[in-house]
């Protein structure tokens, strides 16, 4: 079901990395957090409990594959996983690698900025993420 006023129903929500009938993985263009990704359910649902067990499994598996790829390729201090829905009530997960020298660490990325810094993401990361997530999405 699509909602005409929903940002994630009417837009991809970032640069598309991979998708299937259930979900899509996108890169969020944020210069302070260049490896920020979202895993977005394709249909308009607001809560995890609105999904079947199988859909929850596949959605979270995609989140975990993005997380594992970030851990292996980028070696962050921590990965933040978040699903709020207060501003955009369309089920999606934020997957954000965090580094001790990032602009907000240890605060959330939406909290007070503590420093100016910028981190580059190795170009091969995006190809690796696409490969890893596409393998899972084709199942």
Tokens of 88: 């955009």
Distance CA 53, CA 121 (A): 34
Q: What CA–CA distances, in Å, run from 24 to 44, 54, 117, 130?
A: 13, 16, 29, 11
What does the mean pLDDT of the chain come to? 93
What pLDDT does residue 136 have?
84
Instruction: Give the tens place of pLDDT for each residue, 9-54.
Output: 999 999 999 999 999 999 999 999 999 999 999 999 999 999 999 9
What pLDDT does residue 139 have?
52
Instruction: Give the tens place of pLDDT for each residue, 100-109.
Output: 999 999 999 9
pTM: 0.93
What pLDDT does residue 1 have?
52
CA atoms within 13 A on the CB side of 58: 20
Which residue has better confidence, 123 or 21? 21
């Amino acid at each position: 079901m699509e909602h005409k006023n929903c940002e994630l129903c009417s837009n991809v929500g970032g640069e598309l990395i991979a998708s299937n009938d259930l979900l899509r993985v996108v890169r969020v263009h944020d210069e302070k957090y260049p490896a920020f990704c979202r895993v977005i359910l394709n249909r308009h649902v607001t809560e995890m409990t609105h999904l079947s067990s199988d859909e929850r499994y596949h959605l979270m598996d995609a989140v975990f594959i993005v997380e594992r790829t970030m851990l292996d390729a980028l070696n962050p201090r921590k990965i933040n996983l978040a699903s709020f829905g207060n501003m955009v009530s369309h089920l999606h997960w934020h997957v954000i690698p965090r580094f001790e020298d990032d602009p907000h660490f240890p605060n959330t990325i939406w909290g007070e900025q503590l420093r100016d810094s910028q981190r580059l993401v190795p170009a091969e990361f995006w190809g690796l993420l696409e490969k890893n997530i596409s393998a899972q999405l084709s199942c």
